[in-house]
Amino acid sequence: MKNYKIAAIPADGIGPEVIAAGLQALEAVARRDGGFNVDVTSFDWGSDYYKKHGMMMPENGTDQLKDFDAIFFGAVGAPDVPDHITLWGLRLPICQGFDQYANVRPTKILPGIQSPLAGVGPGDLDWVIVRENSEGEYSGHGGRAHRGLPEEVGTEVAIFTRVGVTRIMRYAFKLAQSRPRKLLTVVTKSNAQRHGMVMWDEIAAEVSKEFPDVTWDKMLVDAMTVRMTLKPQSLDTIVATNLHADILSDLAGALAGSLGVAPTGNIDPERRYPSMFEPIHGSAFDITGKGIANPVATFWTASQMLDHLGENKAAIRLMRAVEKVTEEGIVTPDIGGKATTKEVTEAVCEAIRGENI
Ligand code: NAD
Ligand code: MN
């Protein structure tokens, strides 16, 4: 029997609540299929660890993770630790250390879930956003001079490389090609940003020649928010920079009903290192400990993880179970329901064990 070694990093806020739920669903689907086993090791890294040790994870943290088959991540963020410390201390070192350069964010309206867009239902919005995850606006370059003085200057430098842009573009075209509509939208801001962004447009045109069966177009990121809102049916696969896709995918999550249902895979397509799967949302300390965190994003990302591991049948089964439960209206308050995290999780595990899933 196949045995997958999974590193769980629940981290902060509602992270531990949704990761516990996700692990329960993974267990249930592994038991139902019988063909594989998930062997989970949990790491207590995050803001509490930081308060004790002065760092979010041990110095050899990524070394400890490198032999796992995948990483299952909750969220970081605490009211009393600055966000740049939690993010740069844990999540980004893993993404960048393992060169997880493709951040893949599927969005669709699940059955029973209401989009805030009038007249838009399941089938009208079925996207995958591919976010460049290794460079761009989040490459960490920049600086501050004359701190606190009137002449203070701060810079954030966005770095785009031919290698980095070509590989994400190729990934996005390939993904678009694998989907029924074979449609890709390349997002930039190449009217105002005339260097790296123009390079994105040029590389998109070059890579498109390798994929003659994919229909593609270009959008400026500001106009893209309008198209996502007013013509969701016109989009399918989307590729954008680290910052642009970060923003667009929060919008996508909201248009699909809630941030609480939106999943992410941080993928190393070359499979040199473990990939990392997490809900898009943060630590949500406004609802931490209340037992009402929506576990659907975490179930969905667990399904992405199974798919990445090659357990496609189990991945589909898990999503079918989630869809059955949302359709029945067993959902948390963020999407208009009354159910608790525990009730949704039990319903999903029950559905996994059922006959028709
Ligand atoms: P957030 O995603 O934590 O919360 C935004 C809103 O959505 C809140 O009202 C929250 O209650 C709600 N929400 C989020 N997930 C939910 C779920 N599963 N079920 C029900 N409701 C849910 O974003 P924020 O409030 O901007 O940030 C809180 C902290 O999280 C900050 O410290 C931020 O830096 C961090 N953050 C971390 C990540 C990450 O770890 N990947 C992502 C985003 C934000
Ligand atoms: Mn974000």
In angstroms, the CA 67 to CA 155 distance is 37
Domain ranges within the chain, ordered by starting residue = 1-100+274-356, 115-256
Please tell me the residue having the least CA distance from ligand 1 atom 10.
284
In angstroms, the CA 349 to CA 26 distance is 9
Tokens of 157: 């430098």
Helix (H, G, I), strand (E, B) or coil at 298: helix
Cβ-contact 9, 74 below 8 angstroms: yes
Find out whether the beta carbon of 95 lies less than 6 Å from any atom of ligand 1: no
Residue 161 reports pLDDT greater than 80: yes
In angstroms, the CA 289 to CA 285 distance is 8
**Count, residues in the chain:** 357
280: DSSP letter:
S
CA of 247 to the centre of ligand 2 (A): 6
Cβ-contact 56, 50 below 8 angstroms: yes
CA of 283 to the centre of ligand 1 (A): 5
Residue 36 reports pLDDT greater than 90: yes
ipTM: 0.97
Residue 230: pLDDT band with limits 50, 70, 90: very high
Find out whether the beta carbon of 260 lies less than 6 Å from any atom of ligand 1: yes
Query: What mean pLDDT is reported for the chain?
Result: 96
Ligand nearest to the CA of 129: 2
Find out whether the beta carbon of 284 lies less than 6 Å from any atom of ligand 1: yes
Q: What is the pLDDT of residue 34?
A: 78
Please tell me the residue having the least CA distance from ligand 1 atom 17.
260
* Half-sphere exposure at residue 309, Cβ-oriented, CA atoms within 13 angstroms: 30
CA of 281 to the centre of ligand 1 (A): 4
- Tell me if 1-100+274-356 shares its fold with 115-256: yes
Cβ-contact 292, 280 below 8 angstroms: no
Ligand nearest to the CA of 83: 1
Find out whether the beta carbon of 17 lies less than 6 Å from any atom of ligand 1: no
Percent above pLDDT 70 for the chain: 100
Q: What is the pLDDT of residue 110?
A: 95
CATH architecture entry for 115-256: 3-Layer(aba) Sandwich (3.40)
pLDDT digits (tens, 9 = 90+) for 83-129: 999 999 999 999 999 999 999 999 999 999 999 999 999 889 999 99
Tell me the C-alpha to C-alpha distance, in Å, between residue 330 and each of 16, 284, 352.
21, 21, 15
Q: Which residues contact 9 (CB under 8 A, 6 or more apart)?
A: 19, 42, 43, 45, 46, 71, 72, 73, 74, 90
Superfamily per CATH, domain 1-100+274-356: Isopropylmalate Dehydrogenase (3.40.718.10)
Find out whether the beta carbon of 22 lies less than 6 Å from any atom of ligand 1: no
Which atom of ligand 1 is the closest one to the Cα of 281?
A: 2
Q: Locate tokens 């190729």: which residue?
A: 170
Find out whether the beta carbon of 294 lies less than 6 Å from any atom of ligand 1: yes
CA of 6 to the centre of ligand 1 (A): 24
Q: Which residues contact 164 (CB under 8 A, 6 or more apart)?
A: 101, 132, 134, 135, 136
Helix (H, G, I), strand (E, B) or coil at 8: strand
DSSP string, 164-218: HHHHHHHHHHHHHHHSTT-EEEEEE-TTT--SHHHHHHHHHHHHHTT-TT-EEEE
In angstroms, the CA 328 to CA 344 distance is 11
CA of 117 to the centre of ligand 2 (A): 21
Please tell me the residue having the least CA distance from ligand 1 atom 27.
282
Find out whether the beta carbon of 132 lies less than 6 Å from any atom of ligand 1: no
Helix (H, G, I), strand (E, B) or coil at 2: strand
Find out whether the beta carbon of 286 lies less than 6 Å from any atom of ligand 1: yes
Residue 357 reports pLDDT greater than 80: no
Residue 53 reports pLDDT greater than 80: yes
Find out whether the beta carbon of 246 lies less than 6 Å from any atom of ligand 1: no
Helix (H, G, I), strand (E, B) or coil at 161: coil
Q: What is the pLDDT of residue 33?
A: 79
CA of 94 to the centre of ligand 1 (A): 19
| Interstrand relation of 36-42 and 2-11 (parallel, antiparallel or unpaired) | parallel
Count of other CB atoms within 10 angstroms of residue 337: 18
Residues near ion ligand 2 (CB < 5 Å) are 246
Residue 356 reports pLDDT greater than 80: no
Please tell me the residue having the least CA distance from ligand 1 atom 8.
284
* Mean pLDDT of the 299-313 span: 97
